[in-house]
Structure 1
Amino acid sequence: MTAARRVAPARAVPPDIEKYDAPGAQLHGITQKAAHAVIKQIRAHETPERRRTRVNLNSVKIAVQRQNGSAPTEDQIWTAIKSRDLSRNVRNFLWKALHSGHKVGGYFTHMPAPWCDYAICPLCDTTEDLQHILLACASRERETVWQLASNFMTDRLQAWPVLDLGSVLGCMLLEFSPEDKPNSGLTRAMRIIISESAFLIWKLRCERRIEHEDDLDNSPSREEITGRWQMAINARVSHDRHLTNKRRYGRKALDEDLVLKTWDGLLELPENVPANWIRHPGVLVGRGTTRPRGRER
């Protein structure tokens, strides 16, 4: 006697992609791009929600609503961290942070010694989560980087905003418009400065704790931290310049006016540089990075 055939339970499929889940669907009726998008949606729908991700998404919504007056949707949050205004490393950092995927704090709590020691910040004697690392730690890198960022934007921003982890993770959704007037250049500049600064703090913290094993004597000095922050911002300025090349990037090229508005009043330019410095062969440097010439160096 043969056993009864077991019938697999019907798979739950989101309503908007039910039409693609029909048995025997013909391939000529769908493109590879559409098929890939549908497969990703199905997998995302079947993946159980992570509690920590939900907490981080809610913190982003609260932070963005506090700054902009309205909260974003979850789709807008995930789309924002794919923005071309973010460098690839920063995108990866923010995506992993939204999922609480960085190995900090509670990740080490239940490990045997000496790994459990990494759960506690040696400078503050408290749990070292990402909120603490980026915005509360007494570390030299955190204090120096945010001070540099605030000073850099002094002439463009009335007051540096109060940031929390939600603000950093959702920085690409924050709007900065003085006197309620739209200002795409200021908004873009602040998004770049916040994201690059947070990522640099993370990198410097990892070097201090892992590479230098919490030896403060070998940790970067304020001068070195300043130089690395300026180098990161200068790299973004240079990147913007290259992306305005319409001959190379065509319709995907950045708008020159947007780039000029982004960095307006924030750069120290060499002498005799025109207002449109994008095509000028001279080197652009961030405020405070110029070196005296000749023997005065």
Structure 2
Amino acid sequence: EIKERKAPKPCPRTTRVMEGVIAMLKEMNGISPTEELVWKGAKVRKGITTSQKFSAFTWKTLHDGQKIGRYWLDMGESTIAERGLCKQCPWEPTEPMEHIMTQCKATGQKLIWKFAKRLWRKTGLEWIMPTMGMILGIHLAEVKGSEGKKLDGRTRLLQIIISEFAYLIWLVWNEWKIEKEQDERRRHTANEIEAGWKVAITKRLRLDWVLTNKYAHGKLALRWGVVKRTW
């Protein structure tokens, strides 16, 4: 007799992250999505809103699969374990993803989110400081008007801003951690960070314009109205 295999239970950290994502989406959208919907949304790029790289980042982070913090500390060897420590932030030495995205002094996150807020405020809508749950669940987040109706263009813009800026923080962290070897003298400057977000957003804007070309993309082309409402 062949016994059915039970699906492996998610690790506690994955469960906590998922709970945070669902709680955030309930607060923003008014309803709680299922875990299945969160996983599916993280894997499937809908409407070419989030980049493939960000989708991969989200999927891996939800699975607690990034090589950060505890990943290195659990190896035991002192030379390797040092990779899991944040030398800039002694109050959070184990460096979880939430720290990298919303707290760390070395990732430029504070300045990057400041630029994101400045960009979003041009819409006239309230800015909500991103949490880890918001970042990982942004593909399902909705922006609603005063009457509670979903604003498609603004929803798409918020998804682009959060995903692009979060991924920029991830890139800055990787450069700081690996290429710059956490050398205080080589920390990213404000000008470098500002140039980084401008490049990221400009690329996304240009990509949207390119994707409206029906001759090149056929049925997969973005509708002009979608792009206009977004930007």
- Counterparts in 2 of 1:20-99, with a 5 A limit? 47-51=7-11, 52-81=13-42, 82-83=44-45, 84-99=48-63
Match of 1:122, as an amino acid? K
Decide which structure has the larger Cα Rg and report it.
Answer: 1
Structure 1 contact 61–72 (Cα < 8 Å) conserved:
yes
Aligned counterparts of 2:100 and 2:107: Cα–Cα separation in 1: 11
Deviations 1:52-87 (A, max 9, x none): 333322221111111111111122212222223111
Aligned counterparts of 1:183 and 1:116: Cα–Cα separation in 2: 46
Structure 2 contact 22–133 (Cα < 8 Å) conserved:
yes
Percent identity over the alignment is 31
Q: Which residue of 1 aligns with 2:152?
A: 184
Which structure exhibits the higher relative contact order, with contacts defined as CA atoms closer than 8 Å and separated by 6 or more residues?
2
TM-score between the two structures when normalised by the length of structure 1: 0.71
Shift of 1:226: 0.6
Shift of 1:104: 1.0
- Partner of residue 244 from structure 1, selected from 212, 218, 222: 212
Structure 1 contact 109–119 (Cα < 8 Å) conserved:
yes
3-state SS of the aligned residue for 1:254? coil
Q: Which residue of 1 aligns with 2:123?
A: 156
TM-score between the two structures when normalised by the length of structure 2: 0.90
3-state SS of the aligned residue for 1:178? coil
Match of 1:151, as an amino acid? R
Q: Which residue of 2 aligns with 1:6?
A: none
Say which structure is richer in helix: 2
3-state SS of the aligned residue for 1:114? helix
> Is the aligned partner of 1:10 residue 2:2?
yes
Q: Which residue of 2 aligns with 1:121?
A: 86
Deviations 1:210-238 (A, max 9, x none): 11111122222110111111101111111
Structure 1 contact 105–120 (Cα < 8 Å) conserved:
yes
Unaligned 5+ runs, structure 2: none
Aligned counterparts of 1:78 and 1:225: Cα–Cα separation in 2: 31
Q: Which residue of 2 aligns with 1:222?
A: 190
> Is the aligned partner of 1:109 residue 2:73?
yes
Runs (4+) off by over 3 Å: none
Deviations 1:93-139 (A, max 9, x none): 11111101111111122321122222221111112000000011123
Q: Which residue of 2 aligns with 1:261?
A: 229
The count of residues paired between Structure 1 and Structure 2 equals 223
Aligned counterparts of 2:192 and 2:83: Cα–Cα separation in 1: 25
Aligned counterparts of 2:186 and 2:129: Cα–Cα separation in 1: 31
Shift of 1:250: 1.6
Deviations 1:139-181 (A, max 9, x none): 3511111111000111214321132211110011111123123
Aligned counterparts of 2:73 and 2:60: Cα–Cα separation in 1: 20
What RMSD over aligned residues (CA atoms) do the two structures have, in Å? 1.7
Structure 1 contact 140–222 (Cα < 8 Å) conserved:
no
